[in-house]
């Protein structure tokens, strides 16, 4: 995917995007061989040195230049880049202009390693930059250069807060170069979205972008030709091009690429509309919950595999038929009856309040497990959302039917040029290449790292773990060090908050309930003696700046209260400390009955169930085994989803439908 080079202006087509190639068996066999060669060529230190030297020379020519002279150089670049492409000379000239604009507008000048990161992004690769190395500023180099070449650029991040922050903070750089900046967040009208995507550079979230694309595909139908769309526009009879919001998928730069392209790729994106016919009413969902409560776990139903998929046993199906017989109606149909009750069992036993969802303003709102944030307008499918609403006693929303769907893998492979940046990519470099053809290139740090890991501490039970964490926080608070405590759910953050209040320890909580105060909480998290308890909301993209005097105390200390299902997510949390050469320490304080342990091999799970205390080194091995089990399981789920999605696409293509 990264091999496309634009040398003749804008890509052709009314709605440009890449057509997914059909790979044969030989292509798949050659993928890894080609990947090894591409990775070696991508890590070209001599080219990096030439770029840094070239930017330095161009930058010296800009010293003392007035705004008119800068504008003249920008105009010259705009004329040459579409014709000549991203040559070394023009790339160095563009980067020098961007660095000059950043210095004049924000008082920031890109470090040499950020110039290297910008070159990697412009080349359609993933730049692995240590947390705190300034990825947000780095992206302006590639984005500005591509935009000056006439390419619509999307900078894609994981949530509205980061998209808004980055667009606002980096906007002056683009505007100084004569470029426009758009922002896509939740709640915009189609006209506002069309205007934002019409800008040279658009900041957006992965979910908003993907759903906008699916809506466009519904409007456009299956791959209309450029001629068809232009004829519609000439005819003036409600042309489709006037109703879409995007300008196609040309150049995408994905921030937190491992989260967007890998972690969230296990779930397809589905647009739904009002269900046709009579949707089940509240009494049906309540009856399903009542029936599910009468079934006994282990006898009538079982949780299969590490993902705990629920299945009715033969005895359970017979008992359900007996219990449902007096109800009549739809309960006489075996398939409908069992599907409803399976979903009801899932709602009762797997969907946990303040872990998977919040109840706020009389509504059930889904919590994103990767970011810790609320999905304001998302719902579970196949009646699960309505069953959770009935379980919580809130007003039921209408049930919807899928209109269009796509996986993140297939969506992002449609960009003509795709790049990414993250602090944690090396563990999934193989998957990024296999799925997206994205090589990962490690960027050196600007200053030596001073982040120091402390040994994990293991406890037999969660109760002992929480008490040990409170004791640890008392010690650190007494030393005056700021502490960031990472939890995996809203419920866990509030449980720890209650323990800290009981211990008389002042603290603040950042989770999906406090999302409107996020910027203020993060801004003060580096103050002396401050304790911040946060879900995954603070695990990515947050830059915690140390207050005066904190460096001398040892910097920020980060405590993980559970290991995540991927070691990369732990590294993201720990990366909140020790940024840009600052000191910092981190540790994990975990328990043998943490949720992660369900992915461990049976031997380790048996040890955990025994309640015996294990040596820390042995417990660390158990948790790492569980993490590896979770990573393998999720990787397989992503592969199966992509395969299933491709099969659906082939079937729909044969039938003449889309997505």
- What's the mean pLDDT in 431-460? 90
Per-residue pLDDT at 157 exceeds 90: yes
Check residue 276 and give its pLDDT.
47
Q: Work out the pLDDT band at 654, boundaries 50, 70, 90.
A: very low
8 A C-beta contact, residue 20 and residue 413: yes
* Token pair belonging to 307: 């993902």
Q: What is the pLDDT of residue 378?
A: 76
Taking the C-alpha atoms of residue 260 and residue 267, their distance in angstroms, rounded to an integer, is 11
- Same domain, yes or no: 428 and 477: no
DSSP code per residue over 110-150: --HHHHHHHHHHHTT-EEE--TTS-HHHHHHHHHHHHHHTT
**Whether residue 232 is found in the same domain as residue 339:** no
Nearest to 208 by CA among 378, 77, 427: 378
In a domain, 546, yes or no: yes
pLDDT at 7: 43
Q: Do 229 and 321 share a domain, yes or no?
A: no
**Band (615; pLDDT cuts 50, 70, 90):** confident
- 354 band by pLDDT with thresholds 50, 70 and 90: confident
Residues 250 and 321 in one domain: no
Question: 600 and 506 in one domain?
Answer: yes
Kindly state whether residues 513 and 433 are assigned to the same domain. Answer: no
Domain shared by 411 and 385, yes or no: no
Token reading at 644: 């299933």
Residues 175 and 311 in one domain: no
Rounded CA-CA distance 177/162 in Å is 23
Task: Output the six-digit token pair for 359.
Answer: 């109840």
Confidence of residue 182 (pLDDT cuts 50, 70, 90): very high
**Stretch 175-204: mean pLDDT:** 96
The pLDDT, as a whole number, for residue 119 is: 96
Across 187-235, the runs of DSSP E, i.e. the strands, are: 201-205
In a domain? residue 138: yes
- Cα(463)–Cα(114) distance, rounded to whole angstroms? 45
The 8-class DSSP code of residue 446 comes to S
CATH code of the domain in which 312 resides: 3.90.1440.10
More confident residue, 109 or 310: 109
By C-alpha distance, which of 510, 487, 508 is closest to 573?
487
Decide if pLDDT at 656 tops 60.
no
Beta-carbon-side half-sphere exposure of residue 420 (alpha carbons within 13 Å): 31
Q: What is the mean pLDDT of residues 390-403?
A: 81
71-98 mean pLDDT: 95
Same domain, 355 and 256: no
Question: What is the mean predicted confidence (pLDDT) over 77-95?
Answer: 95
How many other β-carbons are positioned within 10 Å of the β-carbon of residue 498? Answer: 10
Is the pLDDT at 172 greater than 70, yes or no? Answer: yes
Q: Residue 316 sits in which domain range?
A: 280-397
Pairing of strands 153-157, 251-255: parallel
Q: How many CB atoms lie within 10 A of CB 593?
A: 19
How many CB atoms are located within 10 Å of the residue 485 CB? 27
Report helix, strand or coil for 614. Answer: coil
Residue 303: strand pairing partners: 310
Q: Which of 40-49, 131-140, 323-332, 472-481 has the lowest mean pLDDT?
A: 40-49
Kindly state whether residue 50 falls inside one of the protein's structural domains: yes
Q: Is residue 429 part of a domain?
A: yes
- CATH code at position 432: 3.40.50.300
**CA torsion through residues 55, 61, 65, 70, sign:** negative
Least confident residue range of 61-70, 251-260, 298-307 = 298-307
Burial state string for 320-334 with b = 16 or more CB within 10 A and e = fewer than 16: beebbeeeeeebeee
Q: Which of 26-40, 107-121, 355-369 has the highest mean pLDDT?
A: 107-121
pLDDT interval class at 458 (50, 70, 90)? confident
Judge contact between 213 and 204, C-beta under 8 A: no
- At residue 348, the 3 state secondary structure works out as helix
Q: Within 10 A of 562 (CB to CB), how many other CB atoms are there?
A: 22
Q: How far is the C-alpha of 158 from the C-alpha of 265, rounded, in Å?
A: 13
Query: Residue 591 belongs to what H/E stretch?
Result: strand 583-591
CA distances from 58 to 90, 176, 286 (A): 10, 17, 70
Token pair 């320490």 in the structure block, residue: 585
Q: Which residues contact 460 (CB under 8 A, 6 or more apart)?
A: 591, 592, 593, 611, 612, 613, 614
E strand residue ranges, 407-494: 417-422, 440-442, 450-453, 457-459, 483-486
Domain assignment present for residue 635? The answer is no
Cα 562–Cα 565–Cα 567 angle in degrees, nearest 5 = 85
Q: Are strands 450-453 and 583-591 parallel, antiparallel or unpaired?
A: parallel
> Is the domain of 391 the same as that of 462?
no
Looking at the fold, whether 180 and 225 belong to one and the same domain comes out as yes
Q: Are 390 and 396 in contact (CB under 8 A)?
A: yes
The yes-or-no verdict on residue 8 having pLDDT over 50 is no
Report residue 655's pLDDT band, with 50, 70 and 90 as the boundaries: very low
Residue 657 — pLDDT band, cuts 50, 70, 90? very low
- Residue 650, in any domain of the structure: no
Q: Is position 211 within any domain?
A: yes
| Six token digits for residue 403 | 């209109």
- Indicate whether 284 belongs to any domain: yes
Given a cut of 60, is residue 388 above it in pLDDT?
A: yes
Q: How far apart are the first and last CA of the chain?
A: 21
83, 163: one domain: yes
Residue 2: Cβ within 10 Å count: 19
Q: How far apart are CA 555 and CA 151, in angstroms?
A: 42
Count CB-CB contacts under 10 A for residue 108. 17
pLDDT of residue 266: 78
How confident is the prediction for the chain on average, in pLDDT?
85
**Distance in angstroms (rounded) separating the CA atoms of residues 141 and 96:** 9
- SS3 state at 554: coil
**Average pLDDT for residues 161-169, to the nearest whole number?**
93
Under 8 Å between Cβ of 408 and 260: yes
Q: Which residue has the higher pLDDT, 34 or 243?
A: 243
Compute the half-sphere exposure of residue 391: CA atoms within 13 Å on the CB side of its CA.
26
Measured in residues, the chain has a length of: 659
- Check pLDDT > 60 for residue 330: yes
Q: Say how many domains are in the chain.
A: 3
């Amino acid at each position: 995917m990264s091999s496309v080079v634009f040398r003749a202006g804008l890509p052709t087509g009314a709605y440009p995007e890449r057509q997914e190639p059909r790979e044969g068996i030989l292509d798949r066999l050659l993928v890894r061989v080609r990947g090894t060669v591409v990775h070696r060529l991508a890590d070209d230190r001599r080219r990096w040195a030439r770029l840094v030297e070239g930017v330095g020379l161009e930058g010296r020519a800009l010293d003392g230049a007035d705004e008119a002279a800068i504008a003249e150089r920008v105009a010259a670049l705009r004329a040459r880049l579409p014709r000549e492409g991203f040559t070394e000379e023009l790339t160095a000239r563009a980067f020098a202009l961007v660095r000059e604009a950043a210095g004049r507008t924000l008082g920031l000048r890109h470090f040499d390693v950020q110039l290297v990161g910008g070159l990697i992004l412009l080349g359609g690769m993933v730049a692995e930059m240590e947390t705190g190395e300034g990825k947000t500023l780095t992206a302006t180099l590639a984005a500005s250069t591509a935009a000056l070449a006439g390419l619509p650029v999307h900078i894609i991040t994981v949530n509205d807060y980061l998209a808004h922050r980055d667009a606002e903070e980096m906007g002056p750089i683009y505007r100084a170069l004569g470029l426009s900046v758009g922002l896509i967040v939740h709640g915009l009208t189609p006209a506002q979205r069309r205007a934002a995507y019409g800008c040279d550079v658009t900041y957006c979230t992965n979910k908003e972008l993907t759903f906008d694309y699916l809506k466009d595909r519904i409007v456009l139908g299956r791959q209309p030709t450029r001629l068809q769309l232009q004829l519609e526009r000439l005819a003036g009879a409600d042309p489709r091009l006037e109703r879409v919001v995007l300008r196609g998928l040309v150049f995408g730069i994905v921030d937190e690429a491992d989260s967007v392209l890998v972690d969230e790729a296990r779930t397809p994106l589905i647009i739904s509309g009002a269900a046709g016919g009579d949707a089940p009413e509240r009494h049906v969902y309540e009856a399903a919950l009542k029936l599910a409560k009468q079934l006994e776990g282990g006898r009538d139903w079982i949780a299969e595999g590490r993902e705990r998929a629920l299945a009715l046993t033969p005895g359970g199906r017979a008992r359900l038929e007996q219990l449902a017989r007096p109800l009549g109606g739809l309960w006489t149909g075996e398939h409908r009856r069992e599907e409803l009750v399976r979903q009801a069992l899932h709602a009762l036993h797997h969907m946990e309040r303040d872990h998977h969802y919040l109840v706020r303003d009389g509504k059930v709102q889904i919590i994103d497990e990767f970011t810790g944030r609320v999905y304001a307008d998302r719902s579970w499918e196949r009646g699960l959302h309505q069953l959770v609403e009935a379980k919580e006693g809130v007003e039921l929303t209408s049930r919807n039917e899928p209109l269009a769907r796509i996986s993140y893998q297939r969506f992002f492979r449609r960009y003509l040029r795709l790049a990414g940046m993250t602090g944690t990519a090396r563990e999934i470099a193989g998957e990024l290449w296999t799925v997206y053809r994205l090589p990962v290139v490690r960027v050196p740090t600007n200053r030596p790292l001073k982040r120091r890991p402390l040994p994990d501490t293991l406890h037999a039970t969660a109760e002992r773990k929480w008490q040990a964490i409170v004791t640890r926080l008392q010690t650190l608070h007494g030393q005056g060090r700021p502490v960031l405590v990472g939890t995996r759910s809203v419920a866990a953050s509030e449980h720890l908050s209650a323990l800290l209040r009981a211990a008389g320890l002042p603290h603040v909580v950042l989770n999906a309930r406090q999302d409107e105060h996020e910027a203020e909480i993060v801004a003060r998290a580096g103050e002396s003696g401050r304790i911040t308890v946060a879900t995954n909301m603070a695990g990515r993209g947050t830059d915690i700046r140390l207050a005066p005097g904190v460096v001398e105390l040892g910097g920020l200390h980060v405590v993980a209260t559970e290991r995540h299902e991927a070691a990369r997510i732990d590294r993201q949390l720990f990366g909140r400390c020790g940024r840009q050469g600052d000191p910092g320490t981190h540790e994990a304080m975990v328990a043998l009955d943490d949720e992660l342990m369900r992915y461990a091999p049976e031997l380790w799970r048996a040890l955990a169930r025994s309640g015996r205390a294990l040596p820390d080194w042995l417990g660390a091995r158990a948790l790492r085994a569980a993490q590896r089990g979770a990573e393998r399981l999720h990787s397989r789920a992503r592969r199966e989803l992509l395969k299933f999605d491709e099969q659906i696409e082939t079937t729909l293509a044969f039938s003449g439908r889309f997505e």
